[in-house]
Amino acid sequence: MKEKGILIVLSGPSGVGKGTVRKAIFSQGNTKFEYSISMTTRKPREGEVDGVDYFFKTKEEFESLIQQDKLLEYAEYVGNYYGTPVDYVRDTLDSGKDVFLEIEVQGAKQVREKFPEGLFIFLAPPSLSELESRITTRGTESDELIKNRMNEARKEIELMSLYDYVVENDQVEVACERINAIVQAEHCRYNRVAPRYIKMLEAE
Ligand code: 5GP
């Protein structure tokens, strides 16, 4: 039996730059993981191609996929459905390749429940650490804006706890390097390599 690939989930709050980072990773050419193209009911934007950027579906088609249990996860985001086709993910992982999902946080939570052995990476906004230090610094002005931003930051920090790694998106290139390094390290994790060595010893 072939060793399974790793399910890599990149998620994070809205507007953090998940799409930009994902596109940068896959434009590098030497990427070893496969991108799972999502399904959506939102209309294609200019330049977007069906089957490349998304599989564009009608609401009825999407709801029928939900009923047939064809989605690993799905979420409603700004009035549209977004979801991950389960067959593609399972088949690709079974063939030994890593699969990369770039999805919003509700979907990532569902994947965590179904695939706890996945690799969950939270892309964090660049100003979060700065914000954190500002929040903890004495004598901060307590105006409404800071309070709102603190609340936002708190929500984002709470979301992080469901993930294995946090990558700050300060510079796209650097974020990509960190993600590639995390995936590489994950392939060396004891739990993932041990079965292979155990099998080798058994075959002796
Ligand atoms: P956009 O409409 O800008 O392409 O994507 C909107 C949001 O949907 C982004 O946060 C993106 O990460 C997320 N998204 C894209 N595909 C999926 C998916 O298959 N499932 C979920 N849950 N979110 C997705």
Tell whether ligand 1 has an atom less than 6 A from the beta carbon of residue 83.
yes
In a domain, 44, yes or no: no
pLDDT of 131:
65
Q: Would you write out the chain's pLDDT as a tens digit for each of its 204 residues?
A: 578 999 999 999 888 999 999 999 999 877 889 999 999 999 999 999 999 999 999 999 999 999 999 999 999 999 999 999 999 999 999 999 999 999 999 999 999 999 999 999 999 988 766 666 666 664 555 677 777 777 877 788 888 999 999 999 999 999 999 999 999 999 999 999 998 899 889 987
Counting ligand 1 atoms within 8 A of each CB, the residue from 77, 109, 115 with the most, and so the one to mutate, is 77
Instruction: Give the residue from 97, 146, 106, 105 showing the smallest Cα distance to 122.
Output: 105
pLDDT of 141:
57
In a domain, 74, yes or no: no
CATH number for position 24 = 3.40.50.300
Span from the CA of 74 to the centroid of ligand 1 (angstroms): 9
Task: For residue 90, give both structure tokens.
Answer: 């399972």
- What does 14-63 look like in DSSP terms, one character per residue? TTS-HHHHHHHHHTTS---SEE-PPEE-SPPPTT--BTTTBEE--HHHHH
In a domain, 123, yes or no: yes
- DSSP, collapsed to helix, strand or coil, labels residue 142 as coil
pLDDT of 175:
97
CA dihedral 110, 112, 114, 116 (to 10 degrees): -170
Consecutive H or E run containing 183: helix 172-187
In a domain, 120, yes or no: yes
* Segments forming the whole domain that contains residue 102: 7-36+96-203
**Count of domains forming the chain:** 1
